[in-house]
Structure 1
């Protein structure tokens, strides 16, 4: 659902701003937030059972000594951050690099967003069957390979690469959040917060990096090659940290 909200904002925001003025999307977002806040206040209930809440200091202490939480954050910074980055930059790349009109660029970007959003729950489903670690390894190696197609100055290869990226990143997002409660059943909220924050940062810095590479090198090629290399690095980190570590209380061999 988070992906869907981001997708609606990405596609609908500019349309509303163009039709009704720059303030329209912000006013609509504020109204929607207020509405859902009221609904939440009326209907939301705390989970049954009491658990002594930990202090912020205790949570930070736990995160400082738990490397797997940071590793999952690294993976999510790639999978969700990559989704946000391409959602933002695809229209610009299509228009600047391949000289197509804004309508076609928007349609191709919408296709990317829809595919990535649809693949996220499917990633959770696949993780339930083959294991989140195995799925993430496939995804990360796939990102390494498909990053090269994005770096090639061919609209056909770039479009196929962007759709392939949507599939991989969507699956990867689902795979990461399969592993969070699996490895941290008692600290799911704390680790989820860290992983989610990493995803937000992953969507913030890569667009800046792509812009810098475009200004320095004259194309986005080196930016996508860096994305490819990052996927390979993450795959190596996964092999080192996760493949030999089973979840707590697990009686199932590592997958």
Structure 2
């Protein structure tokens, strides 16, 4: 998964350079050559493994029963932001740098890669930390750090004028390109960790039905990546504020945090308190 995300990030970096140098028609030609090479490598260096097939003892009805499990939809909510949000921002960032900060296309693509490349490369590290600290702990902190990053990214370029005894005094608030890129780099890292931690939930909770559950969760991530750029554009048209895209994502992360708190954190706190009381009773 991390390699796939990294491939998308590299594409976002290289495609604008190819467009500037050779025209947009060269992009699908390069992609077609790479696909052909990949197909040839796959044909000669892979084999069919019967062990990958689902056993006959697992029926379709049993597999689809996962749709009735609220935990599946909760994981889908998480993945819609950490993967769907990653895909949406990877598509959106080059245009954002051009329109918000006035960079040329090649520079904008290079800066956008500061978000998209770590968001792909570090997914494997996210898997390591999820194994070490657990899916819940990793996802909880991923969402909180994402919320803080999106709070600052959401604030639009603003000027506030104060009338003083010496005349008007204007203050400017807003992220410059350097601060914006640093925060986006941080967000790319936490999204990479979050993509791994959500799938750790699946392997822990559904070891015998990973295929169906991961398919549902992956679908939610794909839908997020498809719908969010459309919503970004609609919000910019509606409000005239480019950072409204981050305001939308801030809201999605907030919903995810509230969902996690009510369905995971509170029950865990209650269980710990009950265990503490039972231990105290035994000591008495």
Query: What's the TM-score, normalizing by structure 2?
Result: 0.77
Contact 2:143 2:253 in 1 (8 A): yes
Structure 2 Cα separation of the partners of residues 173 and 128 of structure 1: 13
User: Over aligned residue pairs, what C-alpha RMSD do you find?
Assistant: 2.3
**Aligned pairs (5 A) from 1:19-30:** 19-30=21-32
Q: What is the 5 A alignment of 1:80-99? A: 80-99=83-102
Q: Is the 8 A contact 1:144 1:230 kept in 2?
A: no
2:84 aligned counterpart, secondary structure: helix
Work out the CA distance in 1 between the residues paired with 2:33 and 2:56.
35
Unmatched 5+ residue regions in structure 1? Answer: 246-255
State how far apart, in whole Å, the 1-side matches of 2:58 and 2:36 are.
Answer: 29
14, 17, 27: which one aligns with 2:16: 14
- CA distance in structure 1 between the partners assigned to 2:264 and 2:239 by the alignment: 37
- Structure 2: gaps (5+ residues): 158-174, 269-284
Give how far 1:57 is off. 5.2
Structure with bigger strand share is 2
Change in CA separation of 1:183 and 1:116 when aligned onto 2, cut-off 3 Å: same
Cα displacement (A) at 1:170: 1.1
Determine which of 174, 194, 215 is the counterpart of 1:172.
194
Contact 1:213 1:223 in 2 (8 A): yes
Tell me if structure 2 keeps the 8 A contact 1:151–1:158: no
Equivalent in the alignment of 2:111? 108
Instruction: Please give the secondary structure, in 1, of the residue aligned with 2:143.
Output: helix
Q: Tell me, yes or no, if the aligned pair for 1:119 and 1:170 is still in contact at 8 Å.
A: yes
**8 Å Cα contact 1:147/1:227 also seen in 2:** yes
After TM superposition, the score normalised by the length of structure 1 is 0.85
Q: 1:56 to 1:30 in 2, by over 3 A?
A: farther
Q: What does residue 71 of structure 2 align with?
A: 68
Q: 1:134 to 1:105 in 2, by over 3 A?
A: same
- Larger gyration radius, structure 1 or structure 2: 2
- 1:238 equivalent to 2:260? Answer yes
Aligned to 2:163: none
Aligned length: 244
